A and B are shown apart, each in its own frame.
Chain A
Amino acid sequence: MKPLLLAFAAFAALGAADVTLAQTSSLRSDTELLISQIQSDKRAVVLAAMDLSDQEVAAFTPIYDEYQREMKDVYQRGTEVMNKFAANYDSMTDDAAKAITKDFFEVRDDRYDLTEKYAKKLGKVLPASDVLRWVQVENKLNALLDYEAASMVPLAPKK
């Protein structure tokens, strides 16, 4: 199932930045260019959007890097869910469909929990407006990447 391979790349890139969607598709819009930048260096994109002072950058980056390390594991599990979906696609059993649905929701829950956990950590070293800004940036980037990833995954077979 070729389309899924692209989706795997998009998911994998969120955590590892080692396989990028930009390598497998042509860039035709600003959105696609931004997605490519996120996948090649999300840290730089986030830091540019945060617009922090030097002192704030010093406080922010160690916590952000820790967040990215933990988030990489979550996205790795997301990739595994999609691999399971692809492996089962042509002969999807009811049990496989149930397991995939459950795993998908668990990954989404864990992503939320991690963002909440690190928003609290950042709240100890940055003003609340910066923490809100960080959550907004993460949400915006995730919205772009989720959209791209989901649009490349076919819907489960009806029967």
Chain B
Amino acid sequence: MKLGPLLLALAVTAVPTLSLAQSGAATDEQILLSQLMTDKKAVYAKNLDLTGSEAEKFWPIYDEYEVKVKKLDDRFLSNLNTFAEKYDSLSDPDAAAVLKEKMAIEKERMALKQEYTKKVAKALPPKKALRYAQLETRIENMVRRDVYSLIPLAN
């Protein structure tokens, strides 16, 4: 399996889907995805409607979370590269190692999201914290749906 096309495909998912938003047929989710890729921070700002004091407490937590999530994203991509490089002759130990890392990343991602939702809940009113968790979940769902559809199943 050639690695280039897969990475290119993943990179394409990060490009704003402006054509969808401009076609008039875009769903709310597609518009949200387009907005997200253009400026994820602006999506949160728009949807959380933070007061000055809330913003002061929220944004440092948000930035810290994004730095940590980026590390998990990098690990996800590295594991995916390993999978792609070995795809045509994937041995059982290779498959087991890819699966172990995939599950570990998933577990850490869930734990991180919960840890930071708790931090957000200390900084914002509970309804806004719930709204934050919903937004994060929606964004995650959109990215997963698109990225997973590009990854071939193991042989």
Chain A interfacial positions (CB closer than 8 Å to B)? 49, 92, 94-95, 97-98, 100-101, 104-105, 108-109, 112, 116, 119, 123, 127-133, 135-137, 139-140, 143-144, 146-147, 150-151, 153, 155-159
Chain B interfacial positions (CB closer than 8 Å to A)? 27-29, 47-49, 90, 92-93, 95-96, 98-99, 102-103, 106-107, 110, 113-114, 117, 121, 125-131, 133-135, 137-138, 141-142, 144-145, 148-149, 151, 153-155
How far does the alpha carbon of A143 sit from the alpha carbon of B10 in the complex, in Å? 16
CB distance from A124 to the nearest CB of B (A): 12
Chain A residues positioned under 8 Å from B103 (CB to CB): 116, 119, 135
Given contacts A101-B117, A153-B134, contact A129 B154 (CB under 8 A): yes
Which B residue sits closest to A113, measured CB to CB?
B107
Chain B residues positioned under 8 Å from A101 (CB to CB): 117, 121, 126, 129-130, 133
Chain A residues positioned under 8 Å from B126 (CB to CB): 94-95, 97-98, 101
Given contacts A150-B141, A155-B47, contact A131 B134 (CB under 8 A): no
Contact: A158 with B99, CB < 8 Å? no
How far does the alpha carbon of A15 sit from the alpha carbon of B48 in the complex, in Å? 33
Count of CB-CB pairs between chains A and B under 8 Å: 116
Contact: B28 with A151, CB < 8 Å? yes
Which B residue sits closest to A123, measured CB to CB?
B96
Pick the most buried of B47, B48, B49, B131: most chain A CB atoms within 10 A of its CB: B131
Contact of B151 among A94, A128, A131, A136 (CB under 8 A): A136
**What are 28 A-to-B residue pairs whose CB atoms are below 8 Å?**
A97-B127, A98-B121, A101-B129, A101-B130, A105-B110, A105-B113, A105-B133, A112-B110, A116-B107, A127-B92, A127-B95, A128-B92, A128-B96, A129-B90, A129-B92, A132-B98, A136-B153, A139-B144, A139-B148, A143-B141, A146-B141, A147-B142, A147-B145, A151-B27, A151-B138, A156-B127, A157-B131, A159-B125
Chain B residues positioned under 8 Å from A123 (CB to CB): 96
Contact: B137 with A140, CB < 8 Å? no
Listed from nearest, the 10 A-B pairs whose CB atoms lie closest are: A97-B126, A128-B95, A129-B95, A128-B96, A143-B144, A128-B92, A94-B126, A147-B141, A156-B130, A133-B154
Contact: A158 with B131, CB < 8 Å? yes
Contact of A94 among B125, B137, B149 (CB under 8 A): B125
How far does the alpha carbon of A153 sit from the alpha carbon of B99 in the complex, in Å? 32
